[in-house]
Amino acid sequence: MNQETVTVEKIIDIGDGSGAQRFVGTGETETDALRDLADKMATAQEHATRKIRAQALQIKTGKAPEGVDPDTPAPTYAARELTAEEQLQLATDIGNPATFGTALDQAIEARTGLKPAQIGQLATQLEQERRQRAAAQECEQWIGAHPDYHVCGENGQRLARYLELHGMAVTARNLDSAFAELSAEGLLIAAPATGNETEPAAEEAVPTPTEAPVERPRATPAASSLRRGNGSAQPAPPPTKATKYTRAQIDAMPSAEYKQRLQERSFREEVERLYSAR
């Protein structure tokens, strides 16, 4: 005959609002159940002690506990005073064509705390951030001045793609041009006729395309890479019925579709005709 399992439990509530802890021990006898309960409570106490000690160490030493990403202080760059001997050596090396470059780098680092390459990287990063802020500001102001533009991800991506493919900066005038041409071709989503549409955040208006752009031919006769003799070595598919496109429709075409349609000779000829005509 099977013996019933004995169960004992202990509930601990320290009254701080964090809730009660419930411990349950089981065994064939009451003694076994109490022993199991004691083991579980001891394990919980061990974990709590480890956590308390880790928190105390962090408070005392400022050291982050294990398993987290510690904050890294920003580096500081400061000029360094050169000794008289170093100045003399640099002056000599700068006057020597063989050591001029190295000596100049050392002098710049001593005066700025940065190597010339680091200065170039920082300057590039700052310029990129400046352009991003300027573009975001232009978009925000442009959207505010164009209530007829429907703010959505698809419209933003098409505007951004149009500007990118045409090498146009993100300015109000260029956005006007892209908006007018894409709207004329029916390639933008119109705003819902509800009158109470909540406008999304302005920064979503012109997101950076995640898809690598497929280079379209430039608008000069010599720019087309689709002329006979420059095409792929793969045999062209049978000719299909020509379909008329506008440049705006081709510019707004997704990259995957554009690549696929390039396999059609009629489409290649249409692209070449559009981008070569001036």
Stronger pLDDT, 235 or 89, i.e. the higher one: 89
With CA atoms as reference, report the closest residue to 261 among 216, 198, 209.
216
**H or E segment at 27?**
strand 21-27
**H or E segment at 9?**
strand 6-12
Query: pTM value?
Result: 0.43
The pLDDT confidence band at residue 174, using thresholds 50, 70 and 90, is very high
What counts of helices (H) and strands (E) characterise the chain? 9, 2
d(CA 150, CA 186): 13
Question: Residue 203's pLDDT is what?
Answer: 47
> Once rounded to an integer, what is the mean pLDDT over residues 72-78?
81
Burial label, 113 (beta-carbon count in 10 A; 0-12, 13-18, 19+): middle
Question: Residue 232's pLDDT is what?
Answer: 43
**Is residue 139 within 8 Å of residue 225, measured between CB atoms?**
no
DSSP tag of 29 = S
> Once rounded to an integer, what is the mean pLDDT over residues 21-32?
86
Question: Residue 229's pLDDT is what?
Answer: 37
**Is residue 45 within 8 Å of residue 23, measured between CB atoms?**
no
Q: How far is CA 267 from the centre of its chain?
A: 34
How many other C-beta atoms lie within 10 A of the C-beta of residue 270? 18
